[in-house]
Amino acid sequence: MKLYFRYISILLKSQMQYRASFLLLSLGQFFVPFSVFAGLYFMFERFGNIRGWTFFEVALCFGVINMAFAVTECFARGFDTFSRLVVSGEFDRILLRPRSTFVQVLGARFEFTRAGRLIQSVVALVWAAMNLSVKWTVPKIITLVLMVVSGIFIFTGIFILAATLCFWTIQGLEVANIFTDGGREMAQYPLSIYKKWIARFFTFIIPFGCVNYLPLMYILDKVRENEYLYMLTPLLGMAFIVPCLFIWEMGVRHYKSTGS
Amino acid sequence: MKTYFSVFRLRLINNLQYRAAALAGVATQFFWGMMHIMIYEAFYANAVSTPPMSLKQVVTYVWLQQAFLVFIALWVRDEEIFNLITSGNIAYELCRPCNIYGFWYAKLIAQRLSGAMLRCFPILILAFFFPEPYRMTLPPSAMSFFLFIISLLLGLMVVVSISMLIYISVFITMSPVGSMLIISTAGEFFSGMIIPIPLMPLWLQKVAYFLPFRLAADMPFRVYTGHIPPAQALTGMLIQLIWLGILVLTGNAFMKRIMKRIVVQGG
């Protein structure tokens, strides 16, 4: 853990060297989800609701998912750009060091500019939370926090899986974007608006449903019985990372250096 | 002119080599297209008032967006040119006996055209065989289709001349990522990539119509779906030509001025 913070402080210093570029990039990162959010707002202005969900309900969903995604991109960027380590043979050096590969890859990259994205999603989240006619009790706030944390775990899991694929394919695969960026775009709306098979896939295979749909039902008082079950679903979502880590370890053992 | 054409041809052949990567991209774009259509479908399912664009038109609009993404996205960039500028190898480019603006312009058009050629056919063909409501529709008339092709190509030229301005700005800023992200995000929004322009509120539509970004995406796509009738499409094409003239002329002028006091970075 100490090692990881060392990594972070070094990377922060190096990124701060180009201050103007850093600020511009953060600003850019703010506008990317902002434009999507504006689109969302205008769609609701025209259509009123989406399968019975109102704007602020969806905005809450949007905030949670984008917050989780921003944090993940900030921390786990090392996995996102992992193919470079494999292609260049840099990963050999990581294997030689007497620390876990997981921490080292995690600390390899750290994108502070994602703070822009994070700020945008926090604003969306707070704005939505204040405008919803929901009583914010302690268990509900805990659930909300759990949703974000669980989202971070799931996105990190997907990043790890995509990185693990590189052990076999060497090149990074654009297809993996379906689950990272695609997962984000999709989970901005409650999963119930999609076709059944998609909603099922994203609940039981990749548990986004445990982050946005099921706990949201509880927060918005849409369920009457078994409330605690709904409240705890984010914990199930977190479990997603366990098999991912196993697969990662398997991949590391399979690794053959590219040599250069 | 012949020089530029052969630059264009070489680049095209070169880029057509990356077929596997394009195929992977196609899969991703299918997913995006499906997802967006599902979202629109859900919105349309209980719309309060009749939207100014039918769901069928929106579906076709979405598939065209996905098929011609490389044509219209401002974030598609040629790393080679960036590296030329920041590494100082620009010196070699300057030795060439041709106009550097035209040279890069031909290169960038070829890059986008080859990308779209690889991707658009599998997407469009499959989209015609999708089950309802995801199926893409044919244009209402042959005339619409013809105008669509022409306005799409004009739009491509508009996009490339906008991105030329961005490349030229790299000479000044040296670090393109941040400013480029902001411009391309705004461009994406005002070209109707996030939500189709007819679905925006009126005041925002006015802003979008005033800017050139929609000329590459929104306009040709709506010509295809028949949302813009052929007569109006002709006026639209006139606007495209005017913008194209303005953008190319300013780009050329900037380029000339910068070339006079260019600093070659390192060796």
Interface test with B, best of A25, A27, A34, A73 (most B CBs within 10 A): A25
More confident residue, B125 or B48: B125
Closest to A24 (Cβ–Cβ): which among B47, B51, B178?
Answer: B178
Nearest chain B alpha carbon to A182: B32
Give the count of domains, chain A: 1
B181 to A39: CB separation less than 8 angstroms, yes or no? no
A234 domain residue, yes or no: yes
B182 to A24: CB separation less than 8 angstroms, yes or no? yes
Nearest chain A alpha carbon to B26: A175
Could you tell me the residue range of the domain that residue A218 belongs to?
Answer: 19-254
Q: Rounded to whole angstroms, how far apart are CA atoms B164 and B160? A: 6
Closest to A25 (Cβ–Cβ): which among B27, B181, B189?
Answer: B181
pLDDT of residue A123: 92
Q: What is the ipTM of this complex?
A: 0.84
Please say whether the dihedral angle defined by the alpha carbons of residues A164, A170, A171 and A174, taken in this order, is positive or negative: negative
Asked if the C-beta of B31 comes within 8 angstroms of chain A's C-beta atoms, the answer is yes
Q: How many Å from the N-terminal Cα to the C-terminal Cα in chain B? A: 31
Q: Rounded to whole angstroms, how far apart are CA atoms A18 and B150? A: 44
Q: Is the pTM of this model over 0.90?
A: no
Closest CA of chain A from B2, distance in Å: 36
Q: Rounded to whole angstroms, how far apart are CA atoms B116 and B113? A: 5
Q: For each of chain A's 260 residues, which pLDDT tens digit applies?
A: 777 788 888 888 887 777 777 788 888 888 888 999 999 999 998 888 888 888 999 999 999 999 999 999 888 877 877 877 777 777 888 888 877 888 788 877 777 778 888 999 999 999 998 888 888 888 888 888 999 999 999 999 988 888 888 777 766 666 777 888 888 888 888 888 888 888 888 888 888 888 888 888 888 887 777 777 787 888 888 888 899 889 888 888 888 776 55
DSSP A53: B
Bond prior to B133 in cis (omega within 30° of 0): yes
Please say whether the dihedral angle defined by the alpha carbons of residues B47, B49, B52 and B57, taken in this order, is positive or negative: positive
